[in-house]
Structure 1
């Protein structure tokens, strides 16, 4: 452990200095937010971002990066809907699955390590699977929508940057601004934040004061807080981990160094953290949004407002009722346990 700490403290500035130059891309025509959420306004925004993605693909091809150009051409395909896109500095995007203008329930997915424009397929597949689960037994409030928010440069799983909150600190203001634009555009919708792995560190930094129904931490190494209450959010905080997820073996510590801190503190699925638990099945670190899986059904139930806090005594902050008219939906009792 000591050797790893020393190696990481040395490697962090070296890794940052050795980061390759970003593929060039044009300045986007629209801000990285939601804008107006009327059908007409969204259609215009989707079209503008499609044009921007195509322009970025042309620039990537001219730069000689065929992989990036191919990824961008796929993202610009007819039927894809990006409410936000910025191809500069590695690239950021927010793709919509479902009818954002009319959805009563909206899930915002925040990815973890190793997710980017060049490695986007698994993230997109998970968003599609969640959208399918929301649509499977849709209520009168509609089947819901999913926003795949790739709004930051995620670290590599094997890099020293995945051991610190530095990238999360930089990403949190972007996530906070995006969620605020979404709540302003859809004030009557029930919005949940679903945060995978290192993405849960981002959500932990961004959570304070956001008007959300739920924050779901899954495959989380920790969020840099000792308790769910420390996140200072009116949302219900949930945590779950698959039985075969390697992140359960990560030491839940915080070790201060000269320029940063290693680790993310208390385990979110521990009783001491105080989150509501949900059944996460027997899968591994990348299996939570697999179609038909236990955690996918569990998280869809949370998004729909049908899940009840599974552990007596867990911290469940009171939700402000006025922004979330759907929060009083009939509860569906779930059963699960936290993995210490």
Structure 2
């Protein structure tokens, strides 16, 4: 009759219960994953798997947008996307050419577009100039112009949900902000705050420009997914939003919601099928690099308003008809009393 892990003995000598065995396996899995992350950050060359540069025109030289200049910005960026498609095709990259061509459609509205490298873009869904509620979607790892269709579908699902739920006469818009070079899911950069720290000033500046377009009376929510929540965490102090929603977050780099130093209400959710639950919520300095993102945003210690995401997987927070999407729409509409809590 051996001792339990906590030093006690189970009556009858039956050994650990199934729930205790699951907790032990999860803890062992987290330790193994942390070791792998540390090894990756130390061993994998930073220059590995760099993609050849894809030619594209320099971004259009535009002044910060105003309500009066939105149409001009949309037209200029569509023209740039069409030119980028032609250059990518001439370069022999048919996949990128097809992606750029879809962004050049007359039905698409971009505040910014840069087809160089992995690409950056800021897309508007809805009537931004007259919107009463705006959600800014900040993506996570492996989001680029090559994978932009997936990001657009998430933004479109959120927009459709807002339209469906908005009170009569309220106008809504969604902004899909791919304003930074996202890390690869399997890379050294995805384990550190480096890319997020580089992205944070741009997100803060964009939030100020957005406020100038929509006005002080418009309710703005940042919806931050996966590594995008690290970006939002680094940008939070000075981010001009009313609500900050973190979904599928590995952490923000801050120890608590209060440490984000934001005036916004801070929300967090994680679905029961999201593998991020098994990422160690630690932060360690190693060779001038900080690995990990600290306190779990859905933990009591972090202090966010935790809402229900039901059984969402890591890519399932924007699935039409899901609990997670319904709650994100309620937050973006300012209907905080209607949000179902976890």
- TM-score for both structures, normalised by structure 1: 0.87
Aligned partner of 1:23 in structure 2 is 54
Asked if structure 2 preserves the Cα contact closer than 8 Å seen for 1:109 and 1:127, the reply is yes
Q: In the superposition, relative to structure 1, how do residues 5 and 121 fare at CA in structure 2: closer, same or farther (>3 Å)? A: closer
Aligned partner of 2:112 in structure 1 is 84
Which of 301, 307, 316 aligns to 2:330? It is: 301
Mapped partners of 1:6, 1:272: distance in 2: 25
- Shift of residue 44, structure 1, vs aligned partner: 1.3
Alignment gaps of 5+ in structure 2: 1-31
Cα distance per residue 1:290-310 (max 9 Å; x no partner): 1111000000000000013xx
Aligned partner of 2:182 in structure 1 is 154
Mapped partners of 2:260, 2:35: distance in 1: 32
Which of 277, 286, 294 aligns to 1:257? It is: 286
Aligned partner of 2:233 in structure 1 is 204
Is the aligned partner of 1:35 residue 2:65?
A: yes
Alignment gaps of 5+ in structure 1: 309-331
Mapped partners of 1:284, 1:153: distance in 2: 24
- Shift of residue 238, structure 1, vs aligned partner: 0.2
The higher radius of gyration belongs to 2
Equivalent positions of 1:111-150 (< 5 A) are: 111-150=139-178
- Shift of residue 129, structure 1, vs aligned partner: 0.8
Equivalent positions of 1:101-250 (< 5 A) are: 101-187=129-215, 188-250=217-279
Which of 45, 69, 93 aligns to 1:65? It is: 93
Q: Post-superposition, which runs of at least 4 consecutive aligned residues in structure 1 deviate over 6 A?
A: none
Mapped partners of 1:241, 1:71: distance in 2: 31
Task: Report the count of equivalent residues.
Answer: 309
- Shift of residue 18, structure 1, vs aligned partner: 4.6
Which of 9, 19, 40 aligns to 2:41? It is: 9
Q: In the superposition, relative to structure 1, how do residues 5 and 220 fare at CA in structure 2: closer, same or farther (>3 Å)? A: closer
Mapped partners of 1:147, 1:269: distance in 2: 25
Asked if structure 2 preserves the Cα contact closer than 8 Å seen for 1:50 and 1:82, the reply is yes
Is the aligned partner of 1:284 residue 2:313?
A: yes
- Shift of residue 30, structure 1, vs aligned partner: 3.3
Q: In the superposition, relative to structure 1, how do residues 271 and 6 fare at CA in structure 2: closer, same or farther (>3 Å)? A: closer
Mapped partners of 2:300, 2:321: distance in 1: 28
- TM-score for both structures, normalised by structure 2: 0.87
Aligned partner of 1:325 in structure 2 is none
Cα root mean square deviation, aligned: 1.6
- Shift of residue 274, structure 1, vs aligned partner: 0.5
Mapped partners of 1:180, 1:21: distance in 2: 34
Asked if structure 2 preserves the Cα contact closer than 8 Å seen for 1:137 and 1:143, the reply is no
Q: In the superposition, relative to structure 1, how do residues 16 and 170 fare at CA in structure 2: closer, same or farther (>3 Å)? A: farther
- Normalized per residue, the structure richer in helix is 2
Asked if structure 2 preserves the Cα contact closer than 8 Å seen for 1:279 and 1:336, the reply is yes
Asked if structure 1 preserves the Cα contact closer than 8 Å seen for 2:112 and 2:123, the reply is yes
Q: In the superposition, relative to structure 1, how do residues 64 and 144 fare at CA in structure 2: closer, same or farther (>3 Å)? A: same
Asked if structure 2 preserves the Cα contact closer than 8 Å seen for 1:104 and 1:141, the reply is no
